[in-house]
């Protein structure tokens, strides 16, 4: 299953941007860091305001991990 998902991801990113999307976003973030910080803060405020159940908080936490990977990834 993991190989299938890997092939699907590679197929998608070669047609959309030619590189992994995390690399494209990370390069853009390095040129505009304050914009991305503002976006992430606003998304955090919105998620915190509208989360009413345990599952919504887990999804928000997962998105936070993804954002952390993009923002602080090496």
pLDDT for 31-69, tens place per residue?
A: 888 888 888 788 877 877 777 777 777 777 788 778 777
Write out the E strands in 1-74.
Answer: none
- Stated pTM of the model: 0.49
pLDDT at 1: 67
For residue 74, pLDDT over 80 is answered with no
- Residue 71, number of CB atoms within 10 A of its CB: 15
d(CA 7, CA 55): 29
Q: How far is CA 18 from CA 12, 23, 70, 71, in A?
A: 9, 10, 18, 21
CA distance 34 to 69: 17
Average pLDDT, integer, range 9-29? 77
């Amino acid at each position: 299953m993991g190989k299938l998902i890997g092939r699907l991801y590679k197929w998608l990113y070669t047609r959309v941007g030619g590189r992994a999307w995390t690399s494209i976003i990370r390069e853009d973030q390095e040129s505009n860091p304050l914009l991305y910080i503002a976006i992430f803060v606003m998304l955090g405020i919105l998620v915190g305001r509208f989360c009413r159940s345990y599952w919504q908080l887990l999804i928000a936490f997962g998105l936070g991990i993804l954002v952390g990977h993009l923002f602080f990834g090496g």
